[in-house]
């Protein structure tokens, strides 16, 4: 079995706006917490880069045990992981820290799934509806705006994606938190959701979102209905009945 670290995050222009992290030392050491730009995350370590600004560059000593606060505008709460500062590299007006996770198993169980969802790399198997049985999704915003009969592109146990027109995207551009409702196997389901991905596609704009457990009543029961649908469609796919 390979022991090579698994890459969890590599920077892109869009990713830099979705993921933030800061080093939080123990209060007893007298050093202030500072937010840096995430360069990469593997199952073993995180690399943070700092550029000299009004407050100067941080001066965290090697070997310091710290808390890494990882957050995203798309998350309701951030994720904290413990790490130790192992290396520092200085180049010009920038400083880079390499931090090793002290509890890699917590990174795999907490941080890795959150990153998969954030960047639309859902860990759960996703399926498309049958072409002959399209599924309409109704979406509403916290301000009361409602959009009916949107086209479901795919769905998994932890989220879904929609295909919408530009006129819908214009009205949704200011929102990340929404409510989606749809019917599977005769059962009406409603989930609170967070839009985490938007991109242009040949036939419209795709919106990727994940379901919010803490904001959805009876979440596990509703998710189980989705899982039953996904398993059945997966079975059909494997049997080759769907082109």
DSSP strand E in 102-203: where? 136-140, 146-156, 159-164, 177-184, 187-201
Please state which of the ranges 29-38, 70-79, 146-155, 174-183 shows the lowest mean pLDDT.
Answer: 70-79
Output the pTM of the full model.
0.52
Most confident of 84-98, 111-125, 191-205, 221-235: 84-98
Residues 143-186 have pLDDT tens digits of 999 999 899 999 988 899 999 998 999 999 999 899 999 999 89
Residue 81 near residue 69 (C-beta atoms within 8 A): no
Residue 39 near residue 48 (C-beta atoms within 8 A): yes
CA dihedral 121, 124, 125, 126 (to 10 degrees): -60
Spatial separation of the C-alpha atoms in residues 239 and 119, rounded to whole Å: 30
Mean pLDDT for 52-62 is 86
% of the chain with per-residue pLDDT over 70: 86
Q: Catalogue all structural domains in the chain, each as residue range(s) with its CATH number.
A: 7-118 (2.40.10.220), 136-238 (2.40.10.220)
Which residues have CB under 8 Å from 79's CB, separation 6+? 69, 70, 71, 110, 111, 114
> Tokens 């995203």 map to which residue?
72
Spatial separation of the C-alpha atoms in residues 39 and 19, rounded to whole Å: 10
């Amino acid at each position: 079995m390979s022991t090579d670290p698994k890459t969890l995050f590599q920077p892109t222009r869009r990713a830099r706006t979705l993921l933030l992290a800061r080093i939080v030392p123990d209060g007893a050491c007298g050093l202030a917490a500072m937010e840096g730009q995430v360069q990469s995350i593997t199952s073993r370590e995180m690399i943070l880069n700092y550029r000299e600004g009004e407050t100067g560059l941080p001066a965290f000593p090697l070997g310091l045990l710290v808390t890494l606060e990882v957050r995203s505008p798309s998350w309701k709460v951030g994720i904290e992981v413990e790490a130790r500062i192992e290396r520092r590299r200085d180049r010009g007006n920038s400083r880079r820290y390499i931090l090793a996770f002290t509890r890699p198993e917590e990174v795999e169980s907490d941080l890795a799934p959150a990153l998969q969802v954030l960047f639309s790399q859902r860990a759960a198997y996703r399926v498309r509806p049958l072409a002959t049985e399209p599924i309409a999704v109704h979406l509403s915003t916290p301000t009361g705006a409602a959009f009916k009969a949107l086209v479901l592109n795919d769905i998994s146990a932890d989220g879904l994606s929609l295909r919408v027109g530009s006129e819908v995207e214009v009205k949704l551009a200011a929102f990340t938190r929404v409510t989606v409702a749809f019917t599977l196997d005769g059962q009406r389901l409603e989930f609170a959701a967070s839009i985490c991905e938007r991109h242009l596609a040949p036939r419209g704009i795709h919106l990727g979102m994940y379901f919010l457990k803490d904001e959805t009543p009876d979440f596990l029961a509703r998710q189980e209905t989705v899982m039953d649908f996904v398993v059945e469609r997966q079975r059909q796919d494997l049997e080759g009945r769907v082109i």
